[in-house]
A and B are shown apart, each in its own frame.
Chain A
Amino acid sequence: MADKVYVDSDLKALIPKFLENRKEEIVKARTLLKENNFSELAELGHAIKGTGGGYGFNFVTELGAKIEKAAKNEDQDEIKDLVKRLEEHLENAEIIYD
Chain B
Amino acid sequence: MKILIVDDASDIRRLLGHIIRKSGYEDLEFAVNGQEALNIIEQKQNSGEKIDLILLDIMLPDINGIEVCRQLKSKKIVEGVPIIMVTGEEDETVLEQAFSAGAMDYIVKPFSQIELKARVKSALELRQERQKRSQREAELEDATKSLKTANKELERLASLDGLTKLANRRLFDQKLQEEWGRSVRKDEVLGLIMLDIDYFKEYNDTYGHQAGDKCLQDLASKLEKSLFRSGDFVARYGGEEFAAILPETDYKGLTEVAERIRREIQGLKIKHENSEVSDYVTVSLGAAVACPESKSGIDKLVQAADKELYRAKENGRNQVKIKKKLVTGEEEG
Q: Are A14 and B14 in contact (CB under 8 A)?
A: yes
A72 vs chain B, min Cβ distance (A): 13
Bound together, the chains give a CA A17 to CA B9 distance in angstroms of 12
Interface size class of B (residues with CB under 8 A): 10 to 19
A14 vs chain B, min Cβ distance (A): 6
Q: Mark A12-25, 1 if CB is under 8 A from B, else 0.
A: 00100110010000
Q: Are B111 and A54 in contact (CB under 8 A)?
A: yes
SS of A interface (majority): helix
B213 vs chain A, min Cβ distance (A): 83
Bound together, the chains give a CA A45 to CA B109 distance in angstroms of 13
A77 near B: Cβ within 8 Å? no
Q: Are B109 and A49 in contact (CB under 8 A)?
A: yes
Q: Which residues of A contact B111 (CB under 8 A)?
A: 53-54
A5 vs chain B, min Cβ distance (A): 13
Which A residues between 1 and 48 are near B, CB-CB below 8 angstroms?
8, 10-11, 14, 17-18, 21, 43, 46-47
Bound together, the chains give a CA A46 to CA B111 distance in angstroms of 14
Tally A-B pairs: CB < 8 A.
50
Bound together, the chains give a CA A11 to CA B16 distance in angstroms of 11
- Whether A17 touches B59, Cβ cut-off 8 Å, given contacts A50-B88, A54-B111, is no
B22 near A: Cβ within 8 Å? yes
Find the A residue at minimum CB distance from B61: A43
Bound together, the chains give a CA A18 to CA B110 distance in angstroms of 14
Q: Are B110 and A49 in contact (CB under 8 A)?
A: yes
Q: Are A47 and B110 in contact (CB under 8 A)?
A: no
Bound together, the chains give a CA A54 to CA B137 distance in angstroms of 41
Q: Which residues of A contact B109 (CB under 8 A)?
A: 49-51, 53-54
Which B residues between 1 and 21 are near A, CB-CB below 8 angstroms?
9-12, 14-15, 18
Choice from B11, B110, B113 contacting A17 with Cβ under 8 Å = B11
Interface, chain B (partner A; CB < 8 A): 9-12, 14-15, 18, 22, 59, 88, 109-113
Other than the known A18-B11, A54-B110, what 5 A-B pairs have Cβ atoms closer than 8 Å? A10-B22, A17-B10, A43-B59, A53-B111, A54-B109
Nearest 6 A-B pairs (CB), nearest first? Answer: A53-B110, A50-B109, A54-B110, A51-B11, A50-B88, A54-B15
